[in-house]
Amino acid sequence: MNHWIVAPVVLPALVAALIVLAARFDILVQRTFSIAATVALLAIAAGLFVLAADGTPRAYLLGNWPAPFGIVLVLDRLAALMLVLTQLLALAVVLYAASGWDRQGRHFHALFQFQLMGVNGAFLTGDIFNLFVFFEVLLIASYGLFLHGAGAARLVTGFKYVTVNLLASTLFLFAVGTIYAVTGTLNMADLAVKASQVGPEQAGLLRTGVALLLVVFAVKAALVPLHLWLPGTYGVACAPVAALFAIMTKVGAYAILRVHLAVFGGEGSPAAGLVEPWVVPAAVATILLGTVGLLAARTVQRLAAFSVIASMGTLLLALAMPGPAATAATLYYLLHSTLAAAALFLLADLVAERRGPVHDTIVAAPAFPELDLLAGGFLLAAIATTGLPPLSGFLGKLWILDTLRAHPAWPWLWATILGTSLLSLLAFARAGSLLFWKAVAIATPPAGDPPPRARPVLPLVAAGALLALPVGLAAFAGPIARSLEATAAQLHERTGYVEAVLGPRPAAHAAER
């Protein structure tokens, strides 16, 4: 077994404990440990990505207990891709937070590392119950991170956020219990074998458990009508936390891909085909509602929050389409939307910090320092988010539109995506003109005013790095697309994943029990 596979889970857990025990009173030491650990995680994730590129899934059996009886982590192309995305986002966020945000509350860096542990574990786990465990780890850490810096608005919204996720966790346990009662296993590879062996007398019960899982994952992915927790949560969280939370909805999308496609989507499974009839209309509603929220947003951070909802609708619409091509398009848009949303959250904070009392409210106000630089960043983020050429948002939506041609209602789906893209463009144009263009016309700093105070450069570097990544996705779209097509093909093929966990004869394993 390759022991590096467990490192993305173990390393942040150890660093978080070390920060709490040995560095909780020294913020500089906390920053050093946290940034160093995040850089190391990025290097490990890159190494695992290269390892997984040969197309061979690898299982890591904790305690060397054989599957399906023990805890198993599985590295394949999809897990490696999500690990790299998470660490890229995490590094930008921790650098941004190190400029001062981490001083506004206690234990930011410890909670940050626990959050990474939960997210990384969710991507690597090969067991549905342990998926629940890692969901709880990342959610508990997210509760603390969300309340970082306190404030009445965060306390009220935090209560709603906790309540919704506790209800989803309870439903998750019901789903897990139902599936275990039918199949006698929760190991994903074992379930991929046994799901097709379920008799007609228990097929309804299995479909019920799988449908409950879909509801849970839809809550995480903020799919309408289960999205109500997201605008308030993302709209009031501190900027680096909101940027990190951009990966949270993608954990829900990943879980739908992994569980509903790779585990229960096989030929002969009674639960196959559950996703499309429910997700397609909900995804269309999510796109429409997210776009309405964009038009009504009064702050840049709320604009970013509703852009997450709209992009999740587009992503889940592609996810519901059958075939590897649709899955590859989903993955490309997943990468793009995560990075674009995170960059927009950081830009919102940079603008708010410089505009004084009006913060990031979308109203005309006096000019502020570094206006031209931030206006350029906002323009780049707007182009990426709305899907204008030549950035990755345009390429991602074009790829998704191509995959939607297989759906009977494709003209309506095309009209939804193209029409809402135009409305999103209007929302960003309105915000940009009020924030930047009209700011110059209203006022300039009077002569004789003291020079503006020096501001840290690190936040600009972190936000700029996130903005550069969608440019890179567009510039290297060819090789990235080929890699994602191989990832999608591996996810649909299933046999390699099953054999990596259970051995070369999974049917024999099932018969022995």
- DSSP letters, 458-495, are HHHHHHHHHHHHHHHHHHTHHHHHHHHHHHHHHHHH-H
Instruction: Say if residue 65 is exposed, middle or buried (CB neighbours under 10 Å; 0-12, 13-18, 19+).
Output: exposed
Residue-wise pLDDT for 182-222, tens only, equals 999 999 999 988 888 888 888 889 899 999 999 999 998 98
CB atoms inside a 10 Å sphere around CB 217: 29
CB atoms inside a 10 Å sphere around CB 501: 28
- DSSP letters, 319-345, are HTS-SHHHHHHHHHHHHHHHHHHHHHH
pLDDT at 505: 56
CA pair distance 354, 371, nearest whole angstrom: 9
- In eight-state DSSP terms, residue 446 is P
- In eight-state DSSP terms, residue 74 is E
pLDDT at 80: 96
pLDDT at 364: 86
Note whether 163 and 194 are within 8 A (CB): no
Q: Is 72 helix (H, G, I), strand (E, B) or coil?
A: strand
Q: Model's pTM, two decimal places?
A: 0.92
Which residues 6+ apart lie within 8 Å of 66 measured at CB?
A: none
pLDDT at 271: 76
Give the distance, in angstroms, between the CA of residue 384 and the centroid of all CA atoms in the same chain.
Answer: 17
Note whether 314 and 400 are within 8 A (CB): yes
Note whether 352 and 236 are within 8 A (CB): no
C-alpha distances (whole Å) from 277 to each of 200, 266, 326 are 21, 17, 16
CA-wise closest residue to 344 among 309, 389, 396, 394: 309
Residue ranges of alpha helices (H) inside 268-323 are 275-296, 300-319
Counting as low any pLDDT under 70, the low residues of the chain are 1, 149-153, 439-454, 505-513
Residue-wise pLDDT for 290-307, tens only, equals 999 999 999 999 999 999
C-alpha distances (whole Å) from 458 to each of 101, 147, 310, 338, 350 are 12, 23, 30, 21, 11
Note whether 266 and 196 are within 8 A (CB): yes
CA pair distance 130, 302, nearest whole angstrom: 33
Which residues 6+ apart lie within 8 Å of 488 measured at CB?
A: 324, 325, 327, 328, 331
Q: What amino acid is encoded at 210 in this protein? A: V
